[in-house]
């Protein structure tokens, strides 16, 4: 079994914000795999699919960003998952805009959603961080990550989301 978790905020008003890059990425992954978010458990919207006889869960926590770890912890307990079977997708204000980075473990960095997950399950889970670093340091980081992405930047981010989703899908067969 493998769990892919995209971080974001569940309200519609946050849909096209920087902090919802994780949700946008798991939506893209689900679309490419013809999986639908039809289930709800572990305080998340869930799409299920089998690949190479392995069950894959794709999740969007409904806990809001700063409590994402509660949902991941619930999945871990319900399905007896090891941290090596969990991959989290998150925006990263410290990573250059329009890039992504994969790591098998690490710190939470400055991200409160990642901090919640690390506090709830530890730090040895896979993660893909998608860069949203602005050209100029924002006056208020919370206002920036919750601001709507303009069309030009969304075009760039859609390409990186597409590339990252292909990369993540390629990992599934190797696990």
Secondary structure E strands in the chain: 2-6, 37-41, 44-51, 54-61, 86-96, 100-103, 126-133
Give, as one character, the DSSP assignment of residue 58: E
User: CA-based diameter of the chain, in Å?
Assistant: 49
Interior/surface letters 155-172, b for 16+ CB within 10 angstroms, e for the rest:
eebeebbeebbeebbeeb
Active site residue: 19, 28, 111, 129, which one? 19
- Residue 19 is among the residues annotated as catalytic for this protein: yes
Q: Which amino acids are annotated catalytic?
A: 19
């Amino acid at each position: 079994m493998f769990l892919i978790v995209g971080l974001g905020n569940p309200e519609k008003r946050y849909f096209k914000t920087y902090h919802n890059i994780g949700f946008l990425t798991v939506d893209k992954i689900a679309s490419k795999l013809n999986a639908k978010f039809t289930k709800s458990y572990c305080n998340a919207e869930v799409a299920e699919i089998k690949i190479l006889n392995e069950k894959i869960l794709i999740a969007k926590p409904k806990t809001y960003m700063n409590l994402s770890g509660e949902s991941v912890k619930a999945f871990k307990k319900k399905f007896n998952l090891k941290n090596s079977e969990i991959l989290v997708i998150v925006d990263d204000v410290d990573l250059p805009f329009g890039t992504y980075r994969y790591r098998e473990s690490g710190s939470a960095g400055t991200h409160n959603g990642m901090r919640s997950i690390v506090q709830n399950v530890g730090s040895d889970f896979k993660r893909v961080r998608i860069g949203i670093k602005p050209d100029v340091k924002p006056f208020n980081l919370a206002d920036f990550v919750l601001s709507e992405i303009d069309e030009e930047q969304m075009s760039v981010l859609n390409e990186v989301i597409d590339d990252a989703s292909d990369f993540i899908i390629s990992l599934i067969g190797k696990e």
